[in-house]
Structure formats: structure tokens, C-alpha cells
């Protein structure tokens, strides 16, 4: 039995420790906001925060989360940065199909937590791991600036 | 069972005919459509509108939402005439039903950038009819003339301050006859249509609440992973599942038409057990396919006469007397759709019923497939469409749905089948590869006098809707094949050549292939004439005002002809697709030997719009999609296997590579054009032309490689 917290609540999973955190979240805990896109840490759709750091949950064994704090899209609004990011995303109507957006928002929230006023270069490097097949990149960039309150928005 | 899938698909896709320029895929499925909405409660005013006694208003959306915004745009059309507050409307995806058929396509199908074009009048009429019935119900109750009553904001008001909310009138209204004479609002009175409204599906998508196919959960549901032959079309000879059966959580290992499925308590368990199965495959007729032989086959096919699409004047004669001639060959590779949500599907097949839920682009095909596999009647089958995590044409096919249905039927439990990304990339229906030979003749002044176009490419339509291919012409292979330019002698021909690898419709379909060749070639002719490529095009467009207008707009906004920093250059391109006219100017440089696109200016005339916000999203989306294709897109084959397995080998554009995109939309009262697809087709020639301007090198083969 592996225990950790998800969005502030105690959670446990009776699965082998090498099971990816992604599938524990989605299938064991029924939290489907975190998405499966590639299973190979290439697309970022599965991004969650582990003790505040963005990680690809498809490549994170659940054993690595034992005793730690996991934050997912379902709980990201609990942080000030997460709230601002979601508000900016709504204001600029970022999503198209929406499938990558949980991961985008988790990466953007981690960026703004670490760097409240990111430059375009900061955005490029923080967001490069998140693929959007629908091409919402221009709006993601604008929304991050908007969430940061900088004038590029 | 093994024979089932293809023959059944053939038998239920019957007649088809091209009618009045619009393509109609006639899909006949007798008995499947029994007034889908009749079963709904008395709150159904018609097929599109349900009003509850609590005043809740639900509008049905009969097209699949895969990012393109139909879930917003289509209800907007209904709400405009229904006179309700769009912000309070709930939207549900429609079940299969005759009334929901896309009359531009002849099936309940989302594709061809037809959603708004098909719905533009139909849904406004549906909204108006529902409103008129509500008004009539109020008038009846009050014993007054309907002319004395007006509807606004979900409420009917009548003489002497009488008021009734729609919810109070719905039941009575639903029993009234459907009005025939409907007068639609004058566009100047639109409250919602044409306004840049925010999408109502955004909230769910930024909180993780939106349900995609992959998120479906049914009581008692098991999870499946399927081993398919690495060569598409191969079959199981034998398999050893001894080890897999002993693995934790594994409930069943079953053989189906397309391979061997493991069904387990969780998907991860199913996937691990699947990896532990040793399957012997008969790799089938494609086991020796490789990219070199495919290309050679296309080249050989070029020597066939093919089907003549256009013959005007005498090209051979004109070429003989031309002052200068130009020749070029263009090549496009196979592409994978790769929507970010991998293929997946949930099915619950029982003895006398079946439930299918997931990401579907073609509800009718799904129904026909399910009925053929289960032997159930359509009225015993329920189909629910979720949000799609991208589609781009991939989810028109129903191979993954058929697999889920077969697995559920075999194990007797609800099952969710989820493909890995590797499954998805190696078992796509790929965008057709193509080879196009062009030649042109110029007179002494440089004006083009002859143009010859010949393409060889596999036909998607020949696989999916064979009756639509007539006299060797696939109408979905010849889109945008004719140039808008005034050139007196023209010959245009296509050769259908099946390479063996299965092909599917992909965003912009053949526009991408044909526009790349045509817009690159007109640029080559301009260069041969020593003329500016913008001026050269412009001089040939006197009879084409909408083309001319967008071309001028793009050039002006991009600062065509104005100096650029050194190391940068511009290219230009022009097209029509889906009744939408578009020009682009791209600004490029070469960084570390690779093409870098800095800025794309798009000018577009798509007639009337439902929602300019969504139009802009789609334009942005198309630029990114097109840039992925021209920089990276390349599906190759070796020993019958697709060699790309995941995003490290089949790259998709990422944030740092995304250019600045500037959009200029022409105000227009023309009928609406489609916007989901044309932009991606045009970007490749536009960028190739810019690279030529910068380096003098012509990029005639995609993806673009400078070395
Ligand atoms: S699913 Fe984890 S990075 Fe793609
Ligand atoms: S919104 Fe569709 S993949 Fe990003």
C-alpha cells in the first residue's frame, strides 16, 4: 500500500510500486483530469506537481510519490498561481480540443510559481515539454503573460 | 468473425453522388433512424431543443467537438432564433438520427469543414420553429393572436403584461404542429451570430472536468490493451498467453479480428500483460513494403494516362511555342493524424443491447459497425459521443471502436480499450503520399501561357466510399487542383495509385497536396519570368475578385516589398478551400541549417462568420498544424512497418518554434465558408517560396530539408 496526498487529501493505492503515477491517478483514484498522451515523457499531457515541482506522471513510478504531495488539475486552483493561470486561460479562451490543457496549466502554474514575471524565453523553456496538437501556443503564451500581469498580454 | 469488418463496411456504405458541387456521401442504413428524439421526454420541442419545466434549456449538437468549436458555434445558431440567453444554455451531443445528417456530406459525420455551412440556415430555422411553437402555445393559453406575442430571453410576453417562461410553455408547445413559414432574422439584428463570444466548453477544459472518450467509466468496466500486427493488415497465427494469464489483475486474453486483447482490472495491468504475450503473425501482403518501393511505385504510376480533370486549349502546342519552359516535381510524404488523445473506445455489449461511448467523428459508421458485429438492431444500440481529444479526420474511421465492441462481446463485460501512442502512430490511416509533376510555358513577356499538372497518389475515397470514385476521379483528391490564375492552356490529370499502406482523410485532405504544388509552381514561373511573385499572381487574377482581395490584403499587412533585416525573406501563397479564400505571407530565416518561420500573416475571406473568436483559433491552429507538417511530418516504412512510434520520431511543433501569427479577416456578407482546414494547406508553399527568396533553393519535397 502506497500512501501520499492528492490535492491535500490522503490517498492510497494498493498497486506495485512501479505503476506509473498517471494510471494510479486515472484508474485507481478515478481522477481523469490528468491525461495520457504518449506514455514516454514526450508530450506533457500527464504533468502534475510532486511537492510543487512539475513532473510527467507517466514516467513517475507511484513509489516516488510515497509520502509526498501530489497536485493535479483538479486541485491546482488551490494555489494563487493556479487560480491566476486558469483565469487567464478562460479570459483568452485558450483551449481548443482541450486534451493537452491540464498539462499546459500545470506547467504554466509551476513556471509562474518559480518566476512570477517570466520572459518569452522563460516561457519557451518551461512550456517546450508540453505538446498541443491543436496549436494553442500563441494563446498559451499570451495567457501566461496575462496571468503574470505583464504587458505583453 | 475475421471476415466481418471489411465486408460489413462495404455493405452499409451504399450509394453516393456528387450533387451540385457539394459532395454527398449517401450512406444508407435502413432502420437505424427512428426519430432519435422521440424517445426523449415531453421537453423536446424538436430534435434540437429541449426545455425543462424548470426552464432549463438544452440544445443538441449533432457534430463532434474536436477542438474546432462546433459545440459553441452550432448552438449559437439555434439560440439566436430561439431567443434564449446563450450563457444559460446546456449543450448535449446528439445521438445518431436521420434529422442530424450533414446534408453536405449525406451522413452524420463531422468533416470537410462543413459543420457551419450545413447548419447555417438549418439550425436557425430549427431555433425559429421552436420559438414560434412556444409563442403559439402562449397565445393559445391566453386566447390571443400570436402576432400580439413576442419572445425574448426565454420568455414570451403578450398583451396586458402577460408573461410566461419557456418552461411553462414547453409541454404544450411540443404538441403543436411545426410551423412551415419561417422568417429568419435579418443579420443586422443578430445578438450572438458574428460576435467574438467566448466558448462555453472552456471552463470544463481548464479544470479537467471535460469528459473525453478516454475518461469514460461504466460500472463494472474492465480495461483492455490490444496487440496488433506490426504490419497493418497482418493476422494472428498463434499466441502464447500462459505468462500473461497469470499476471495480476488479468481477467481475459482473447483473440479478435485485429489481434490479441488482454482485459484486466486496470489499464496498466492490461498493457503489461499484453507486452508479455508472444504472438506469431502472418504479416500479410504488406510485409515487404518500404518507402523506396512506395516512391518508385508512385513514379511508375505517373506514366499511366490517369483521369483528366481539366483540358483547356492545347498545352502541347503552347509549350512548343513558349519563350521559356519550367518543370518541377513535388513530393509529399505519408502523415499521421496523431491527435493528442490516443485512439480508445468503450463498449458494453449484452445479449439484447449495446452501449458505445467515446470519441466518434462519424456516428453512422459506428452504428453500422456495431450492428454488423453484434447482430443487434440499431434500435438496440445506444451511441454516445464524448468530447474528442483532437480528430483531424482520424476518428472518421471506426477500427478502434470495432475492436472494443468485439472485445466486450467476447468477454461479456463493459470494456474500455485504450491504445498506446505507439499503437496509434503505427496503426493510423495515413494522409496519402503524393507525387506531382508540373510544367509550364511562358511567353516572351513572362506571362504564363501553358500549365500542366499531373499527380499520382492513393485514394482514401476508394477505400471508404468506393462508389464516389467515378471514371478514375476521386473528388477528394482533386480539391484546389485548379489554379485561380488566368492561363489559357491547361491540362490537369490525376492517377490513383494504391501503395498498399492504408490511407485516411486528414485535415485539409487533398488541398494540402495540390496547393503545395500549384502555389510553389506559380512562384517558380514568376521567378523564371524575373517578376515579383506577388505582382505576378496579381496580374493573373482580374476575373477573381475574392482571391485578388485577400492577396492584396495579406501583402499590404505583411509589408510586402518593404526591407527586412538581413537573413530574412518573405514568401506568399494563395488558395481557396471550403468556400474560403485565403492568402498568407511567411517571414523566414535559416537557423543552424534549418528553416525557421518567424511570422505568418493571414488574410482570409470566409464569408459570414458565426464566431470570429473561434475563427481566429482555427487560423492559429492551422498554422501550427501546417508548420508541423512542413518541418517534421514524415511517416516512413520498412519491412511493412511504420518506422515512427512516438513523438521523438514523429515530431510535433512545440512552443519555442511557434511563429507570430497575424490574422486579417475580410468583412463579408457572402455565404459562410469553412475554416477548420484551409490554412494548413497553404503554409507549406508559402514557406517554401520564402526560403527560395532567401536562399535561391527550391524546396519541393516535404518535410523541408535544406541540406
Ligand atoms: S503522457 Fe506523459 S509526457 Fe506524454
Ligand atoms: S487543445 Fe488540443 S491538443 Fe492542445
Residues 202-261 of B with CB under 8 A from A: 202-212, 214-215, 217, 223, 248
* Distance in Å, alpha carbon of A132 to nearest chain B alpha carbon: 7
Cα separation, A11 vs B490, in Å, equals: 70
Pick the residue whose CA is nearest to atom 3 on ligand 1: A41
With a 6 Å cutoff on the Cβ, whether A75 touches ligand 2 is no
Pocket of ligand 1 (CB under 6 A): A 36-39, 41-46, 56, 58
Report the chain A residue with the minimal C-alpha distance to residue B342.
Answer: A37
Cell numbers found for residue B69? 468549436
Residue B8 has pLDDT above 50, yes or no: no
Pairing assessment for the beta strands B235-240 and B434-442 based on DSSP bridges:
unpaired
Give the CATH number for residue A104: 1.10.150.120
CA distances in angstroms from A30 to A6, B357, B358, B420, listed in the order given = 12, 18, 17, 19
Ligand 1: residue of A40, A48, A101, A106 to mutate (most ligand atoms within 8 A of CB) is: A40
Q: Which CATH number fits domain B213-284+343-418: 1.10.1040.50, 2.60.40.1180, 3.30.365.10, 3.20.20.140?
A: 3.30.365.10
* Distance in Å, alpha carbon of A95 to nearest chain B alpha carbon: 6
CA distances in angstroms from A128 to A80, A99, A131, B223, B649, listed in the order given = 23, 17, 7, 32, 16
pLDDT (0 to 100) of residue B364: 86
B597-652 confidence digits (pLDDT tens): 999 999 999 999 999 999 999 999 999 999 999 999 999 999 999 999 999 999 99
| Pair A67, A84 in one domain | no
| Pair A41, A101 in one domain | no
Q: How many domains does chain A divide into? A: 2
Residues 557-616 of B with CB under 8 A from A: 613
Cα separation, A148 vs A41, in Å, equals: 27
Residue B12 has pLDDT above 60, yes or no: no
- Does residue B577 contact residue B508 with C-beta atoms inside 8 Å? yes
For residue B703, whether the previous peptide bond is cis, meaning omega lies within 30 degrees of 0, is: yes
Cα separation, B86 vs B59, in Å, equals: 10
Residue B236 has pLDDT above 80, yes or no: yes
Beta-carbon separation of A43 and B623 below 8 A: no
Task: Note whether residue A45 is domain-resident.
Answer: yes
Give the CATH number for residue A27: 3.10.20.30
Q: How many CB atoms lie within 10 A of CB B485?
A: 21
Residue B13 has pLDDT above 90, yes or no: no
> A87 lies in which domain range?
77-148
Closest ligand to the CA of A130: 1
Among A20, A95, A123, select the one facing B206 at the smallest CB separation: A95
Beta-carbon separation of B266 and A27 below 8 A: yes
Strand partners, B383: B356
Ligand 1: residue of A33, A103, A107 to mutate (most ligand atoms within 8 A of CB) is: A103
Residue B41 has pLDDT above 70, yes or no: no
pLDDT (0 to 100) of residue B22: 30
Buried b (16+ CB within 10 A) or exposed e, B300-332: ebbeeebbebeeeeebeebbeebeeebebebbb
B319-356 confidence digits (pLDDT tens): 999 999 999 999 999 999 999 999 999 999 999 999 99
Sheet architecture: strand order including B307-312: B307-312, B489-496, B448-457, B434-442, B324-332
Residue B20 has pLDDT above 70, yes or no: no
Residue B18 has pLDDT above 60, yes or no: no
For B229-312, strand residue ranges (E) read 235-240, 250-256, 259-264, 278-282, 307-312
How many Å lie between the centroid of ligand 1 and the Cα of residue B214?
A: 14
- Name which of B118-127, B262-271, B552-561 the model is least confident about: B118-127
pLDDT (0 to 100) of residue A151: 55
Q: pLDDT confidence of B242, banded at 50, 70, 90?
A: very high
Task: Note whether residue A28 is domain-resident.
Answer: yes
| Pair A138, A102 in one domain | yes
B470-525 confidence digits (pLDDT tens): 999 999 999 999 999 999 999 999 999 999 999 999 999 999 999 999 999 999 99
CATH 3.30.365.10, chain B: domain bounds: 31-204, 213-284+343-418, 291-335+429-695
Cα separation, B356 vs B372, in Å, equals: 14
Cα separation, A150 vs A84, in Å, equals: 13
Out of A47, A71, A95, pick the residue that ends a domain.
A71
pLDDT (0 to 100) of residue B107: 84
Which percentage of chain B shows pLDDT scores above 90?
A: 89
Cα separation, B381 vs A86, in Å, equals: 39
| Pair A60, A7 in one domain | yes
At the topology level, CATH places domain B291-335+429-695 in: Aldehyde Oxidoreductase; domain 4 (3.30.365)
Cα separation, B139 vs B416, in Å, equals: 51
| Pair A102, A53 in one domain | no
Cα separation, A152 vs B527, in Å, equals: 39
Q: Which CATH architecture has domain B31-204?
A: 2-Layer Sandwich (3.30)
Q: Could you give the angle at the alpha carbon of A25 between the alpha carbons of A19 and A29, nearest 5°? A: 110
Residue B557 has pLDDT above 60, yes or no: yes
| Pair A103, A64 in one domain | no
B64: CB partners within 8 A, 6+ apart: B70, B93, B110, B359, B360, B361, B385, B388, B391, B395
- Does residue B201 contact residue A134 with C-beta atoms inside 8 Å? no
Question: What DSSP string runs through B464-528?
Answer: H-GGG-BTTB-TTT-TT-S-SS--SEEEEEEEE---SS-B---TTHHHHHHHHHHHHHHHHHHHH
With a 6 Å cutoff on the Cβ, whether A37 touches ligand 2 is no
Strand partners, B576: B581
Task: Note whether residue A95 is domain-resident.
Answer: yes
| Pair A135, A113 in one domain | yes
Signed CA dihedral, B511, B516, B520, B521: sign only: negative
| Pair A56, A93 in one domain | no
DSSP H or E stretch at residue B605: strand B594-605
Q: Which atom in ligand 2 lies closest to the alpha carbon of residue B340? A: 3
Closest ligand to the CA of A102: 2
* Distance in Å, alpha carbon of B174 to nearest chain A alpha carbon: 34
Out of A37, A71, A105, pick the residue that ends a domain.
A71
User: Taking residues B380-403, what's their average pLDDT?
Assistant: 96
Task: Note whether residue A153 is domain-resident.
Answer: no
Name the average pLDDT for chain B.
92
Among B206, B214, B390, select the one facing A134 at the smallest CB separation: B390
Residue B15 has pLDDT above 70, yes or no: no
- Does residue A115 contact residue B602 with C-beta atoms inside 8 Å? no
Report the chain B residue with the minimal C-alpha distance to residue A100.
Answer: B340
Which percentage of chain B shows pLDDT scores above 70?
A: 94
Q: Could you give the angle at the alpha carbon of B5 between the alpha carbons of B2 and B6, nearest 5°? A: 110
Q: Could you give the angle at the alpha carbon of B239 between the alpha carbons of B233 and B241, nearest 5°? A: 130
Alpha helix (H) residue ranges in A66-136:
80-91, 101-114, 120-127
Pick the residue whose CA is nearest to atom 4 on ligand 2: A132
B320: CB partners within 8 A, 6+ apart: none
Q: Which atom in ligand 1 lies closest to the alpha carbon of residue B647? A: 4
Question: What DSSP string runs through B140-209?
Answer: HHHT--GGG-EEETTEEE-GGG-EEEHHHHHHHHHTSPPPS---PPPGGG-SSTTS-PPPTTHHHHHHT-
DSSP H or E stretch at residue A146: helix A137-148
Beta-carbon separation of A133 and B625 below 8 A: yes
Matching residue, cell 513517475: A60
Helix axes B678-695, B509-529, angle to 10 degrees: 30
Cell numbers found for residue B42? 415531453
Out of A53, A71, A89, pick the residue that ends a domain.
A71
User: Taking residues B306-319, what's their average pLDDT?
Assistant: 97
B100-117 confidence digits (pLDDT tens): 988 888 888 888 888 888
Matching residue, cell 494504391: B498
Signed CA dihedral, B115, B117, B119, B120: sign only: positive
Name the average pLDDT for chain A.
97
Three-class SS state of A99: coil
Beta-carbon separation of B390 and A34 below 8 A: no
Residue A48 has pLDDT above 70, yes or no: yes
φ/ψ of residue B239, rounded to 5: -155, 155
Report the candidate in B369, B382, B406 with the shortest Cα–Cα distance to residue B224: B406
Helix axes A101-114, A80-91, angle to 10 degrees: 130
How many Å lie between the centroid of ligand 1 and the Cα of residue B163?
A: 55
Cα separation, B677 vs B113, in Å, equals: 7
| Pair A81, A140 in one domain | yes
Cα separation, B345 vs B208, in Å, equals: 19
Cell numbers found for residue B119? 447548419
Q: pLDDT confidence of B42, banded at 50, 70, 90?
A: low
Burial class of residue B600, CB neighbours in 10 A (0-12, 13-18, 19+): buried
Establish whether this prediction's ipTM goes over 0.95.
yes
Amino acid at each position: 500500500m502506497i500512501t501520499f496526498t492528492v490535492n491535500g487529501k490522503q490517498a492510497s493505492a494498493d498497486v506495485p510500486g512501479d505503476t506509473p503515477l498517471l494510471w494510479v491517478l486515472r484508474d485507481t483514484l478515478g481522477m481523469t483530469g490528468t491525461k495520457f498522451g504518449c506514455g514516454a515523457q514526450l508530450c506533457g499531457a500527464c504533468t502534475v506537481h510532486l511537492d510543487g515541482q512539475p513532473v510527467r506522471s507517466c514516467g513517475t513510478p507511484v513509489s516516488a510519490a510515497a509520502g509526498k504531495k501530489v497536485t493535479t488539475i483538479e486541485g491546482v486552483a488551490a494555489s494563487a498561481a493556479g487560480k491566476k493561470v486558469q483565469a487567464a486561460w478562460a479570459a483568452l479562451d485558450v483551449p481548443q480540443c482541450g486534451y493537452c490543457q491540464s498539462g499546459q496549466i500545470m506547467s504554466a502554474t509551476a513556471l509562474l510559481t518559480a518566476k512570477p514575471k517570466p520572459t518569452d524565453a522563460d516561457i519557451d523553456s518551461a512550456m517546450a515539454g508540453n505538446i498541443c496538437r491543436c496549436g494553442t501556443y500563441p494563446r498559451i503564451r499570451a495567457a501566461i503573460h496575462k496571468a503574470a500581469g505583464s504587458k505583453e498580454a | 468473425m475475421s471476415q466481418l469488418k471489411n465486408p460489413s463496411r462495404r455493405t452499409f456504405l451504399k450509394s453516393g453522388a456528387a450533387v451540385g458541387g457539394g459532395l454527398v456521401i449517401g450512406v444508407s442504413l435502413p432502420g437505424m433512424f427512428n426519430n432519435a428524439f422521440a424517445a426523449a421526454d415531453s421537453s423536446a420541442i424538436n430534435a434540437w431543443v429541449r426545455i425543462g419545466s424548470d426552464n432549463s434549456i438544452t440544445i443538441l449538437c449533432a457534430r463532434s467537438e474536436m477542438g474546432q468549436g462546433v459545440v459553441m458555434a452550432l448552438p449559437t445558431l439555434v439560440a439566436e432564433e430561439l431567443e434564449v440567453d446563450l450563457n444559460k444554455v446546456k449543450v448535449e451531443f446528439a445521438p445518431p438520427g436521420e434529422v442530424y445528417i450533414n446534408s453536405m456530406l449525406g451522413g452524420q459525420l463531422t468533416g470537410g469543414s462543413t459543420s457551419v455551412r450545413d447548419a447555417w440556415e438549418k439550425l436557425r430555422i430549427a431555433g425559429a420553429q421552436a420559438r414560434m411553437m412556444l409563442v403559439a402555445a402562449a397565445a393559445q393559453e391566453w386566447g390571443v393572436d400570436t402576432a400580439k406575442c413576442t419572445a425574448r430571453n426565454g420568455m414570451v410576453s403578450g398583451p396586458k403584461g402577460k408573461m410566461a417562461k419557456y418552461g411553462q410553455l414547453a409541454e404544450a408547445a411540443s404538441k403543436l404542429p411545426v410551423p412551415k413559414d419561417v422568417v429568419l432574422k435579418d443579420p443586422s439584428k443578430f445578438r450572438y451570430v458574428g460576435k467574438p463570444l467566448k466558448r462555453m466548453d472552456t471552463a470544463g477544459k481548464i479544470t479537467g472536468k471535460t469528459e473525453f472518450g478516454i475518461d469514460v467509466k461504466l460500472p463494472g468496466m474492465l480495461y483492455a490493451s490490444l496487440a496488433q500486427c506490426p504490419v497493418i493488415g497482418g493476422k494472428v497465427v498463434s499466441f502464447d498467453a500462459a505468462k500473461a494469464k497469470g499476471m495480476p489483475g488479468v481477467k481475459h486474453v482473447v483473440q479478435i479480428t485485429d489481434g490479441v486483447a488482454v482485459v484486466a482490472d486496470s489499464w496498466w495491468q492490461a498493457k503489461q500483460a499484453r507486452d508479455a504475450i508472444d504472438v506469431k503473425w502472418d504479416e500479410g501482403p504488406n510485409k515487404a513494403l518500404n518507402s523506396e518501393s512506395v516512391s518508385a511505385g508512385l513514379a511508375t504510376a505517373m506514366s499511366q494516362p490517369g483521369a483528366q480533370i481539366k483540358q483547356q486549349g492545347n498545352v502541347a502546342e503552347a509549350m512548343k511555342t513558349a519563350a521559356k519552359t519550367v518543370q518541377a516535381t513535388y513530393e509529399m510524404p505519408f502523415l499521421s493524424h496523431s491527435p493528442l488523445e490516443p485512439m480508445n473506445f468503450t463498449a458494453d455489449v449484452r445479449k439484447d443491447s449495446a452501449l458505445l461511448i467515446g470519441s466518434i467523428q462519424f456516428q453512422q459508421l459506428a452504428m453500422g459497425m456495431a450492428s454488423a458485429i453484434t447482430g443487434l438492431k440499431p434500435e438496440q444500440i445506444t451511441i454516445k459521443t464524448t468530447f474528442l481529444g483532437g480528430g483531424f479526420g482520424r476518428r472518421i474511421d471506426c477500427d478502434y471502436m470495432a475492436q472494443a465492441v468485439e472485445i466486450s462481446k467476447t468477454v461479456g463485460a463493459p470494456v474500455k480499450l485504450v491504445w498506446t501512442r505507439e499503437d496509434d502512430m503505427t496503426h493510423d490511416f495515413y494522409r496519402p503520399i503524393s507525387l506531382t509533376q508540373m510544367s509550364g510555358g511562358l511567353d516572351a513577356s513572362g506571362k504564363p501561357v501553358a500549365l500542366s499538372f499531373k499527380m499520382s497518389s492513393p485514394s482514401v475515397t476508394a477505400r471508404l466510399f468506393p462508389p464516389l470514385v467515378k471514371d478514375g476521379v476521386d473528388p477528394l483528391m482533386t480539391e484546389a487542383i485548379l489554379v485561380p490564375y488566368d492561363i489559357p492552356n491547361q491540362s490537369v490529370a490525376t492517377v490513383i495509385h494504391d501503395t498498399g499502406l492504408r490511407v485516411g482523410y486528414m485535415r485539409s485532405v487533398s488541398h494540402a497536396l495540390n496547393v503545395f504544388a500549384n502555389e510553389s509552381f506559380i512562384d517558380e514561373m514568376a521567378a523564371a519570368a524575373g517578376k515579383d511573385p506577388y505582382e505576378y499572381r496579381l496580374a493573373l487574377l482580374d476575373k477573381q475578385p475574392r482571391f485578388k482581395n485577400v492577396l492584396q490584403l495579406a501583402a499590404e499587412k505583411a509589408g510586402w516589398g518593404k526591407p527586412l533585416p538581413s537573413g530574412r525573406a518573405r514568401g506568399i501563397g494563395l488558395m481557396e478551400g471550403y468556400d474560403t479564400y485565403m492568402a498568407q505571407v511567411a517571414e523566414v530565416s535559416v537557423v543552424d541549417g534549418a528553416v525557421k518561420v518567424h511570422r505568418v500573416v493571414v488574410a482570409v475571406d470566409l464569408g459570414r462568420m458565426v464566431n470570429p473568436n473561434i475563427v481566429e483559433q482555427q487560423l492559429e491552429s492551422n498554422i501550427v498544424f501546417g508548420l508541423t507538417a512542413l518541418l517534421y511530418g514524415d511517416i516512413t516504412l520498412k519491412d511493412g512497418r511504420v518506422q515512427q512510434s512516438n513523438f521523438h520520431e514523429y515530431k510535433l511543433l512545440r512552443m519555442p518554434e511557434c511563429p507570430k501569427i497575424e490574422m486579417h479577416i475580410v468583412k463579408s456578407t457572402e455565404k459562410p465558408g469553412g475554416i477548420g482546414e484551409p490554412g494548413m494547406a497553404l503554409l507549406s508553399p508559402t514557406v517554401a517560396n520564402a526560403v527560395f527568396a532567401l536562399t535561391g533553393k527550391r524546396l519541393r519535397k516535404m518535410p523541408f530539408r535544406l541540406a
